[in-house]
A and B are shown apart, each in its own frame.
Chain A
Amino acid sequence: MKNLWDLAGVFAYLSLLTVGGGMAAFPEMKELTVDTYHWLTFPELLHFYSLGQLAPGPNMMMVASIGVVVGHIPGALVALVAFFLPTGLLTFFIGRLWTHLATWRWRPSIQAGLGSVAVGLVLAGAIIMGRGAITDLFFGVISLVVFLLLWRTKINPAYPIVASGLVGMALHYFTTT
């Protein structure tokens, strides 16, 4: 029961950090779910995050997987509600207000200022995730190839990501046999 309260607190808090996308909350998510509460290991967190990129819809549905690990179905529901309700309410009310602020002089300032900070937070998330996922040159090459493919072509990201998984399995096959 206490776990569910912890889940609610952690994900409600993470929810408010997702400025510029879910990745902005990743550094703090690692800190809390792995280092503070030991709900899962860093590789497990990376696995869920990456699987979440393959799921349709909003790309942070992996919070439901962490919820399952901590408290089965109730855990998943608590994690989802905690992660989506606070920012949801904020968006709902500020969204109504924001359209009335179209001519407010500070509005472009807030958008430009928060925009660059958001990019910085996403970059921090990418660095922390990269440290866990790129364990040697081989995985670095996978990241680089996926990056170049997605940057230069209009291919659906699901294909190169699934292909990376298959390459990972091939590596496992050749290193264990």
Chain B
Amino acid sequence: MSVADTSPPPPPPSLGKLFWVFLVMGATSLGGGVVGYLRTGLVVRQRWLDDLSFVELLSISQTLPGLNATNMSILVGDRLRGGMGAIVATLGMCLPGASLMIAAGFAYGAGGDGPWSKAFLHGIAAGAVGLIVVVLVQLGAKTLRTLADYVFVVLTAVAVAFFKVPVPYALIVAGIVAIWWHRPRDKDVP
């Protein structure tokens, strides 16, 4: 299924250019929501991908374990420049944030954990809970379709958060049940 393009897609970028574009996105995607930055960078500005392939790669990223930002870097890098592309794109995406958080680790150890910074960090922890709930609502709106889906969500969360069921067990058991629940029915076959 190929949609006729109105303009020819640009040739694949060099590895250096790929690294640079991902480095810039890795340094500027402040406040989460990396997906939005990725779409702007890759689809709108560089035109390396069309919206259809972007959504396809995003759905793979979201299904597989791993963070969306790094999974997308790997998939996009691989599609544009193969294995080396995946490596340079991921490095570019991770380098700025990793350097900052390494610095934060040292600062915290070197007396950055006084009462004032603790008060600040306690505040942002409460704020971050609000952020996670928003992510949760958005993720849920996209993913949950039937009543059964909500039952899977609640059972998984209660098992892990209240009964301390280790995440791998919850993931495997609930995953198998939920996948089986959504198993292909005969009516889906064209």
What is the interface of chain A, defined by CB distance below 8 A to chain B?
15-25, 27-28, 31, 43-44, 46-69, 73, 76, 80, 84, 87-88, 90-92, 94-96, 98-99, 105-106, 108-130, 132-135, 139-140, 142-151, 156-169, 171-172, 176
Question: Could you say which residues of chain B place their CB within 8 Å of the CB of A117?
Answer: 152-153, 156, 170-171, 174-175, 178
Interface range for B: 35 or more
Q: Contacts A118-B139, A151-B137, A169-B116 known; A113 to B178 CB distance under 8 Å?
A: yes
Question: Could you say which residues of chain B place their CB within 8 Å of the CB of A120?
Answer: 152-157, 160, 170, 174
Cα-based distance from A159 to B155 in the complex (angstroms): 34
Question: Could you say which residues of chain B place their CB within 8 Å of the CB of A16?
Answer: 65, 168
The number of A-B residue pairs with CB atoms under 8 Å apart is 384
The distance from the CB of B89 to the nearest CB of chain A, in whole angstroms, is 11
Cα-based distance from A57 to B108 in the complex (angstroms): 21
Counting chain A CB atoms within 10 Å of each CB, the highest count among B113, B118, B120, B162 belongs to B120
Question: Could you say which residues of chain A place their CB within 8 Å of the CB of B140?
Answer: 119
13 additional A-B residue pairs with CB within 8 Å, beyond A109-B179, A160-B130: A17-B167, A50-B125, A54-B124, A55-B100, A64-B105, A84-B94, A91-B66, A98-B60, A121-B171, A157-B31, A164-B126, A169-B116, A171-B119
From B2-10, B11-19, B39-47, B182-190, give the one contacting chain A. Answer: B182-190
The distance from the CB of A136 to the nearest CB of chain B, in whole angstroms, is 10
Tell me if A20 and B78 are in contact (CB < 8 A).
no
Tell me if A56 and B121 are in contact (CB < 8 A).
no
Question: Could you say which residues of chain A place their CB within 8 Å of the CB of B60?
Answer: 91, 94-95, 98-99
Partner of A23, one of B64, B66, B135, B180: B135
The 10 closest A-B pairs by CB, nearest first: A168-B123, A120-B156, A68-B105, A164-B127, A146-B130, A57-B97, A87-B66, A113-B179, A158-B31, A172-B119
Partner of A168, one of B120, B155, B166: B120
Q: Closest residue of chain B to A163, judged by CB?
A: B127
Partner of A52, one of B90, B101, B178: B101
Tell me if A164 and B123 are in contact (CB < 8 A).
yes
Tell me if B102 and A58 are in contact (CB < 8 A).
no
Tell me if A53 and B144 are in contact (CB < 8 A).
no
Question: Could you say which residues of chain B place their CB within 8 Å of the CB of A91?
Answer: 60-61, 64, 66, 70-71, 74-75
The distance from the CB of A164 to the nearest CB of chain B, in whole angstroms, is 3
Tell me if A87 and B65 are in contact (CB < 8 A).
yes
The distance from the CB of B154 to the nearest CB of chain A, in whole angstroms, is 7
Tell me if B56 and A99 are in contact (CB < 8 A).
yes
Cα-based distance from A171 to B122 in the complex (angstroms): 10
Question: Could you say which residues of chain A place their CB within 8 Å of the CB of B175?
Answer: 113-114, 117
Question: Could you say which residues of chain B place their CB within 8 Å of the CB of A127?
Answer: 157, 161-162
The distance from the CB of B74 to the nearest CB of chain A, in whole angstroms, is 5
Chain A to chain B contacts (Cβ below 8 Å), 13 pairs: A20-B139, A27-B167, A57-B26, A57-B27, A57-B93, A91-B74, A113-B179, A120-B160, A121-B157, A130-B129, A161-B128, A168-B119, A168-B120
